[in-house]
Amino acid sequence: MKGLLLDLDYYSEEDRPIIRMFFKGEDENFVALDDSFSPYFYVMPDGPGETDSGPEEVRERILGADFGKIGVVDVEKEEKRLFGDTITVLRVVLNHPQDVPKIRDGIRDIEGVKAIYEHDILFVRRYLIDRGLVPLSWVEVEGEWVDGGVVKVDSIKPVKPGDGGAGVPPGVSGLSVLAFDIEVYNPKGAPRGESDTDAIVMISLASNTGIRKVITWKRPVGNMDFVEVLDSERAILKRFADIVAENDFDVLAGYNTDNFDFPYIKKRLEKLGMELPLGRDGSGIAIRGRKGLPEVKITGRVHIDMYPIIKKSVRLSSYVLENVVRDVLGIEKEKIPGDMLWKFWDEGRENFERMIRYSMEDAEVTLKLCEKFLPRYCELARIVKQPLHDISRMTTGQLVEWLLMREASRGGEVIPNRVSGREAARRREDSYMGGYVKEPRKGICENLAVFDFRSLYPSVVVTHNIDPSTLIKSGERGEEGGKDGECDENRAPGLEYCFSRRREGFIPAILENLIERRMEIKERLKKMAAGDKVDTVDVRMLDVEQYALKILANSFYGYMGYPRARWYRKECAESVAAFARMYIKKVMTVAREEFGFEVVYGDTDSLFIVVPKEDRGRAEEFLKAVNRSLPGSIELEYEGFYKRGIFVTKKRYALIDEDGKVTVKGLEFVRRDWAPIARRTQQEVLTALLKGAPPKEAAKIVRDAIEDIKNRNVSLEDITIYTQLTKSISAYKNVGPHVVAAKRLMEHGREVAPGMVIGYVITRGMKGISERAMPVELVDIQDYDPEYYIDNQILPANLRIMEAVGYSRGYLKEGIRQESLSKWF
DNA sequence: CTTAGCCGGGG
DNA sequence: GTGTACGGCTAAG
């Protein structure tokens, strides 16, 4: 049998674990059971000279120890490596994964036991590693059919060993995906599943197989052909499960479904005393609690929560679904506040229909988000070779770690242990110098060429062989350091560390492989582009794959400096940063001293130089010369040309290219919790300066805004600040302006609930700012405080930029032109 | 200035 | 389930 491995788990039968794998077959789906795999871990005995115990004695003690009812199946001596050093370990084999914690703790106390390794590796993940299997890839299963669609495994292997991508179907990897969303009746604020009133009133569904449907239990007045009306909450829940089962979806997807939808459905099922067979084996919703973060598993299908995926994939100020789809899909979608939905349900008519459309859209955009982001995670699952469910919830550090764990295990390396919370906290204190950021030449400059290093950090790791096993600290050289000079030539600049080149380090070897795979794919893509294959399925898949490889490769440096990493080595991360600083400074020096370019700015791996049009040829020469002198895979690349730029401080600048496209970095204080007039003014100032207006024109924009505020020539909208009420009013210890405004709303008989966005205006008076906040619904525009809007809104938003072009606070505010400055403009 | 504690998304 | 987040922000110290 051949199948695409979707997910796997294990269950117990007569004290033995049975691995259960769910496959999407070429024709029919099937399940494979493997009872042949046993859990194990490693014991490291004391080394020679440390005690009298050798591996043999420790082996005998373990075999002879009494662990109560459970026992050790086998103990075998093995040669392995730990951080590159050869060591002797004992492989302790047990019957059941749940025996591991008990026996591990018993063995710790046995004399001559120095350390225990690989005792915390989840059973199914260990199975995937040891059998060399790859999720979402084709697997060859031989065995005997024991039941309808269930095969008992005799042998199992990847169709093409080592190649995750063999014959993988296109799109969201050929998987059938159902996106869903529930709406809840919550008249008392936060919905409580155990309450009689807070029922699930609507379930909307959108699939990549063409389903588009809202199931509810109240009939809309108008004709809405995608609505299916049943008679109760119970009925819509059952219908949901029926649709899942009939279509046998591979993936169930939602937004924040780990945290809300599935746990809520589960609560309602308990309340209603019903079971809902959502899993492929007829099982229900299984919630696993990671500390403070639940994770929902639906057996045999992959449950994807898009919220954690989006959070890791795009940087946004808010991950509210409407905000996400606006930013990443360009779709404007209506938001109905959570405290309005129950009213819309009660009101019926137009508002109820609005609610139905809102719910439908939620499922539809969730499906779209899946189509956009899931392929990347499918690819990561194939590269890291762990289940999609887990991969989609991992941080990049965890992805790197599981990749390393598989490579270590299959290459004869013992996997290092995780550290305690206390040790991780201690490591967090170990700070070191990061990237080099040049202080910018503040103000406006024209004709900027920008260069950056291609994947600088990964290249440094590979080129300088940076790895825990190759690290030699000064004074610890001796035999490991080899003959004098071997190490010195590979010394981290300014540090007492160097890296042996005698053998390739574990991490550089894996990283080099990832980089090479990515380069091969990029070559293939280049050829395809040349051959007119521009937007085919193949091109899109390869592009996703190279991007997934890039994400992983770029995470290795951070991983070595990540306090909880099994392969944490501060000296390595520190050295990578030191080499990178050396390279960026070196190219800056070459640009300045050998080519006479002015270096305006640079951050970590980039440099910005002034290149007048007639000098562009020399800029190319500079690039070539620099690259001739750089070692290994370290390479500087041309990023682009910009007509003009404004540099405010380190990491805060704006650029405009020759097509008029504006890039703004770091000026992030332009946020929704600022008054529109401040945001708009800053935007206008930046744009004017970038388009080449003289600074005095920009100053006039600020002056005009200030005059408008003074003269009360502003609209209420211009001065309204919005902040979300995140909890109930009484729960706030510190009463901010939006809380004060909310209180005033309440005093006027308005209902106020957590989640509401409060709009307020700061009014005149003697008290603190918060006390002067009035809800926009109740304020008289005449009462607003011009000084607040000038001093706390307009000036902070614009002063930093205007100071960079020579203006002072005094001039902007009072119109006082400073003598020393007047000659400049 | 540092530290402790809360919050996110969802309705 | 051979497990126990995390990074950002603010109020408090």
Confidence of residue A515 (pLDDT cuts 50, 70, 90): very high
Taking the C1' atom of every nucleotide in all shown strands and the CA of A290, the nearest one is C4
Q: Residue A561's closest CA among A550, A546, A548, A571?
A: A571
A738 touches strand C (CB under 7 A): no
- Asked if A671 CB < 7 A from strand C, the reply is no
Q: Give the per-residue pLDDT at A107.
A: 95
User: Which nucleotides of strand B lie within 7 A of protein CB?
Assistant: 6-11
pLDDT tops 70 at residue A714: yes
Structure confidence at residue A825 (pLDDT)? 45
Which residues neighbour A516 within 8 Å (Cβ) at sequence distance 6 or greater? Answer: none
Q: A14 CA, B2 C1': separation in Å?
A: 56
Q: CA(A65)–C1'(B10) in Å?
A: 52
Which nucleotide across the nucleic acid strands is nearest to A263, CA versus C1'?
A: B10
Average pLDDT over residues A452-468: 95
Measured in angstroms, what separates residue A757's CA from nucleotide C9's C1'? 19
CB A616 within 8 A of CB A606: no
Predicted local confidence at residue A50, as pLDDT:
73
pLDDT at A301 over 50: yes
d(CA A481, CA A311): 44
Residue A607 has pLDDT above 50, yes or no: yes
SS3 sequence, A243-263? HHHHHCCCEEEECCHHHHHHH
A353-362 as b/e, with b when 16 or more CB fall inside 10 Å? bbbbbbbbbb
- Output phi, psi for A672, to 5 deg: -65, -20
Give the per-residue pLDDT at A535.
80
Is residue A807's beta carbon less than 7 angstroms from any atom in nucleic acid strand C? no
Q: What is the pLDDT of residue A668?
A: 57
**Residue A778, pLDDT score:** 87
CA of A731 to C1' of C10 (A): 14
State the average pLDDT over residues A459-479. 86
pLDDT value at residue A171 = 47
| Residue lying closest to nucleotide B11, CA to C1' | A338
- The separation, in Å, between residue A126 CA and nucleotide C7 C1' comes to 30
A601 touches strand C (CB under 7 A): no
SS3 (DSSP) at A82: strand
pLDDT-based confidence at A130, cuts 50/70/90?
A: very high
Task: Give A800's pLDDT tier (boundaries 50, 70, 90).
Answer: confident
Instruction: Give the bridge partners for A41, in sequence order.
Output: A92
Instruction: Please answer whether residues A538 and A525 qualify as being in contact, where contact means their C-beta atoms are separated by less than 8 angstroms.
Output: no
DSSP state for residue A418 in the 8-state scheme: P
With a pLDDT cut of 70, the percent of chain A lying above it is 93
Axis crossing angle, helix A456-463 with helix A570-589, rounded to the nearest 10: 110
A260-295: pLDDT as tens digits? 999 999 999 999 999 999 999 999 999 998 778 899
Residue nearest to nucleotide B9 (CA to C1'): A256
Q: Distances in Å between the alpha carbon of A277 and those of A24, A274, A296?
A: 19, 10, 14
In 3D space, the residue among A382, A355, A330 whose CA is nearest the CA of residue A549 turns out to be A382
For the segment A194-215, the average pLDDT, to the nearest whole number, is: 97
> pLDDT grade, residue A296 (50/70/90)?
very high
Q: Is the CB of A293 under 7 A from strand C?
A: yes
Statement: the CB of A563 is under 7 Å from strand C: no
Residue A396 CA and nucleotide B10 C1' are separated, in Å, by 25
Query: What does the pLDDT average to over A487-493?
Result: 86
Q: Which residues touch strand B (CB under 7 A)?
A: A 181-184, 186, 189-191, 255-256, 259-261, 292, 307, 318-322, 338-339, 341, 362, 724, 726-727, 731, 753-755
Residue A823: per-residue pLDDT: 45
- Mean pLDDT to the nearest integer, A701-713: 92
3-state secondary structure of A526: helix
pLDDT category at A801 given cuts 50, 70, 90 is confident
Q: Distance, angstroms, CA A181 to C1' C1?
A: 29
For residue A271, give Cα distances in angstroms to A242, A258, A267, A294.
20, 19, 6, 20
d(CA A173, CA A511): 25
Q: Taking the mean position of all CA atoms in its chain, how far away is CA A462? A: 25
Taking residues A133-153, what's their average pLDDT? 95
A731 CA to C11 C1' distance (Å): 13
**For strand C, is any atom closer than 7 Å to the CB of A482?**
no
- Rounded distance in angstroms from the CA atom of residue A794 to the C1' atom of nucleotide B7: 29
Give the pLDDT score at A166: 46
Residue nearest to nucleotide C10 (CA to C1'): A734
Confirm if A759 and A720 have CB atoms less than 8 A apart.
yes
**Nearest residue to C8 (CA, C1')?**
A317
Q: Taking all residues of chain A, what is their mean pLDDT, rounded to a whole number? A: 90
Instruction: Report, as an integer, the average pLDDT of A554-573.
Output: 95
- DSSP tag of A781: G
Instruction: Write down the pLDDT at residue A727.
Output: 64
Residues A249 and A176 sit within 8 Å (Cβ to Cβ): yes
Measured CA to CA, the distance from residue A237 to residue A234 in angstroms comes to: 5
Contacts of A196 (CB under 8 A, 6+ apart): none
**Least confident window among A334-348, A467-481, A686-700:** A467-481
CA–CA separation, A453 and A770 (whole Å): 48
At A80-118, the pLDDT tens digits run 999 999 999 999 999 999 999 999 999 999 999 999 999
| A481 pLDDT higher than 50 | no
Interatomic distance A677 CA / B4 C1' (Å): 36
Q: How long is the CA A117 to C1' C2 vector, in angstroms?
A: 11
pLDDT of residue A811: 85
User: What is the band of A759 on the pLDDT scale with cuts at 50, 70, 90?
Assistant: confident
Let me know: does A250 contact A280? Beta carbons within 8 Å: no
Backbone angle region of A516, left / alpha / beta, with phi > 0 → left and psi within -120 to 50 → alpha = alpha
CA distance A205 to A213: 5
CA distance A506 to A528: 34
- Nucleotides of chain C in contact with protein CB (under 7 A) are 1-7, 10-12
CB-strand contact A724/C, under 7 Å: no
Q: pLDDT digit string (tens) for A367-418?
A: 999 999 999 999 999 999 999 999 999 999 999 999 999 999 999 999 999 9
Model confidence at A754: pLDDT above 70: no
DSSP class per residue in A704-761? HHHHHHHTT---HHHH-EEEE--S-GGG-SS--HHHHHHHHHHHTT----TTPEEEEE
What is the C-alpha separation between A333 and A783, in angstroms, rounded?
34
Torsion of the alpha carbons at A555, A560, A565 and A566, rounded to the nearest 10:
120
Closest CA to A637 of A533, A507, A522, A524: A522
Using DSSP's 3-state secondary structure scheme, residue A588 falls into: helix
